[in-house]
Chain A
Amino acid sequence: MIEEIRNEFKNATDLFTNVLDNGFWAVEIAYFPSLCDEKIKDGVLVPLSYRFDPDEFRRMLNSNPKYEHADDPKEWANLILKGYVLLKIEGKHFSFKSDRTPVTQIDAPTVESTLQGPQTAFTEDLNINMFLLRLRYNVPSLTVEPFDKGTLSRTSLFVVYDHRLVNAKILKALYKQLDKVKLDLLQSSGQMVKQLTEKNHRVFPTILQTERPDRVADMLSKGKIAVMLNGSRFVLLLPVRLYDFMHAMDDEYEAFWMVRLLILVRYIAVALTITLPALYIAIVSYNPEIFRVQIAFTIDGSRAGVPYPSFIEVFIMLFMIEALIEASIRLPRIVGSTATTVGGLILGQAAQQAGLVSSIMIIVTSVVAISNFVIPNTTFSQSVRLMKYLFIIIAMIYGISGVAVLFFALIVYLCGLRSFGEPYLALFTNETKELPK
């Protein structure tokens, strides 16, 4: 056995192979010490060496669930890479499960924090994640199906759903997409999202990524499917609708009318962040007569010192704010605050005093940026961030009527999207009703 394995892993110097001879048996052993943990000591080495008893050892081979027959030589390489120990005892081959799981602390959510909701987030370990999910959604009908994806990384993933609630059609569509997955390295849930979405779905996300176990449990109870990835903090949920991206978990825990108000605020914020820069261009350069005279004069007066057309002003400011957002994500925390202060000062005061941009534009920029952060989901918020440039371009050509027409086109686009065959944006369609009971 050792020779065959050595042949397969020619240059893997970190592979450990040996023949352990305790005087009675000569046992061949092969494993990667870096992938295995201390369980190997109690499970293999101690019973084989100074506590050795052939009968007891045979009993253990048959009864310990960690031992399994591994008679197929083709499987050996795969097993070893997954953290199994391969043994050849009395001419028979066994695998012993001893994969190392880093002791992960369950920590608080970093991307989707809530005020009073549960303060746990998923970790990068699949088993702990499964534990966290079972803690909140623990019924016998919860189905877990394991898969392996990525030709090099062999990342294991679980497809989790409640088989009483799930829509079989969607499950089938998911398996079809999973078969198509072609990846060498599967390292993050984002890659999986890209692989699972169709080509014409690339602007708005049609799969939700979340780090909150309570959200996953909530979605499972609505008949949705979760895909959990080993080594990723984020779990994929599908099929989803646009509202799910605008939904914070706090909405489930706070008072009813307060939540309605907050949701309304969020939608208004999205509308503002998409259209405000475009409306600024349209009002300043095309149709100042729309506003009443006083406001039109105020806007024009604030632009008195600005030497170029409004769209250049908008592009300058939006570039600044986008750069600032990018910088504050990438920079380490300590330097980050400096960058934001400097950027904020430049954006806020100096640019306006220098006559490079109008003060109204500064307000527009900050409203756009703040409104964008109101969206609870990062992926969706980035799509929205992209959308506003389309509106700016149309406003440069057509003015305010162009903005209205493009808004219509956007609604049509969103209504035309499907997330695994389910409508993405539709009002008042009760989804639980459509599910087979």
Chain B
Amino acid sequence: MSRYFYYHVIYVGLINVMLFVPWTLVQHRFDGAVSAMAIAVVLGTFVAYATTSLYLRFPQKSLPDILNSLLPRWLALTINLLASTLWILAGILVIYSYSATIQQFFNPDMNPYLFLLLMTAAGVWGASRCTRSVQFAQEIMLLISAPLIIMILFKAVFNPWLDWDAIRVTAGYIRTPPSFVSLCAATFVFAGYNTLAVFNRLLPQGTQIRYRWIIPLFCTFFLLVSFFVPIGFHGTVGVAQYLYIWSVTADSMIMEYGFVYRVLYIFLLLYTALSLMFAMNTWHTAMEFLKACRPKYKPDPDEYPTPKINWLINIGFAALTFAYAIWTNEQRNQLVNQFWLIARTFSDITSVVLLSFLVWKTTRRRRSQIPSDAAAPES
């Protein structure tokens, strides 16, 4: 069952493009991005290992379940609400920037809100399913898009127009002191483990997540590709001119044998799937966090048919997306993205600390219980 966990790791590793991770890194390419990436590989791997091991200590329990059962109610409620805000925002940001991308590269004449409506509708539709259905859909979508992912990655890395000198020059800046924003951006690539916050419910008792070296291996690869390939295509200076770096990079490649000439369209189709998957997962997680705030909440990963509350919460998220789209513009969106990346890093580290504290607390409680249990039959 642990394969589902790696699907999360992989698509979160790929979605970084839509959260302006490469853009953020490229802005700091001469002052600390490369060293930040090097640190992020170590830090991200460490946090990923720690978080997964900690969640496995609480079999079949999601983060809200753990918090509700072990912390005082007010504290659990606050953390749940904060976490759900973070998750909602992730879905909103990706949906917004994907709609903006489509608006620029696919349907420039279309009313931007019309496409946003389609994306949010699909997000609501996906996220309101039960956890198990979300997981199944996730697997199928990822396997369908896998050939596209592999194709684009290979095309990019083995492209004759890729200028390895530019990449070498940029990599030489590794001795500059790391910049904080770049570090936060780079660790996001490793953040797939976070989805265990809800999907841990579906890992059966006694599951071991084996082959955890997949996380550093794949995520480092994704991180390096999403930072260095655009530099290789556009040059060390020219790369900073673009906002949607990867769309432009994909458009630098062509396919010689096939119906479709420009790789850009393949790339956009692939990111339709990935963005929708990301929105589905984040909103679903946020929804579960919100539902866990109710006093008489009972977790059920396989609820069927879909309860009305799922629809209501997710339609609320969709409304928030529209509000965000009306309020924001390119600059504000950048700011919110950076803010989100930083907040996310903090929340990840906090959750590791919090979970270790809770593990310590439960083991202590269990230890203090054993003597009293052993004493019970004698009395």
Contacts and interface: CB of A to CB of B under 8 A. Distances in A.
Interface of A: 198, 200, 286-287, 289-293, 295, 394, 397-402, 404-406, 408-409, 411-413, 415-416, 418, 421, 423, 425-428
Contacts, number: 96
B125 A412 contact: yes
Contacts of B262: 289-290
B261 A293 contact: yes
4 closest cross-chain pairs (CB), A and B: A292-B261, A415-B136, A415-B137, A416-B133
B269 interface: yes
Nearest to B129: A416
15 contacts: A286-B107, A401-B106, A404-B273, A405-B118, A405-B122, A409-B125, A411-B137, A412-B125, A412-B280, A415-B136, A416-B133, A418-B304, A423-B132, A426-B136, A427-B136
A404 B141 CA distance: 11
Interface string B116-129: 00110010011001
Given A398-B118, A425-B136, A416 B130 contact: yes
Interface string B142-184: 0110000000000000000000000000000000000000000
A412 B137 contact: yes
A200 B305 contact: yes
B272 A401 contact: yes
A44 B261 CA distance: 85
B157 to A, nearest CB: 24
A292 to B, nearest CB: 4
A58 to B, nearest CB: 59
A404 B136 contact: no
Contact of A408 (B102, B132, B141): B141
Contacts of A198: 305
Interface of A is mostly: helix
A291 B273 CA distance: 20
Interface residues of B, number: 39
Interface of B: 102, 106-107, 110, 114-115, 118-119, 122, 125-126, 129-130, 132-134, 136-137, 139-141, 143-144, 258-262, 265, 268-269, 272-273, 276-277, 280, 304-306
B139 A427 contact: yes
Given A200-B305, A411-B140, A415-B137, A401 B268 contact: yes
Contacts of B136: 415, 423, 425-427
Contact of B140 (A289, A409, A427): A427
Given A423-B132, A427-B139, 9 more contacts: A291-B260, A292-B258, A400-B106, A400-B269, A401-B107, A401-B118, A415-B129, A416-B133, A425-B140
A198 B304 CA distance: 11
A402 B143 contact: no
A399 B305 contact: no
A401 B122 CA distance: 12
A408 B272 contact: yes
Contacts of B110: 398
Given A412-B133, A425-B136, A404 B269 contact: yes
Contact of A412 (B118, B126, B272): B126
Q: Which of B261, B268, B280 is the most central at the interface, judged by chain A CB atoms within 10 Å of its CB?
A: B261
B117 to A, nearest CB: 10
Contacts of B126: 408-409, 412
Nearest to A287: B106
B139 to A, nearest CB: 5
Given A401-B272, A405-B272, A427-B139, A292 B130 contact: no
A415 B133 contact: yes
Contact of B119 (A291, A394, A405): A405
A75 B143 CA distance: 60
A44 B259 CA distance: 80
A400 B265 CA distance: 10
Contacts of B118: 394, 398, 401-402, 405
Contact of A292 (B133, B260, B268): B260
A136 to B, nearest CB: 33
Nearest to A293: B261
Contacts of B304: 416, 418, 421
Nearest to A199: B305
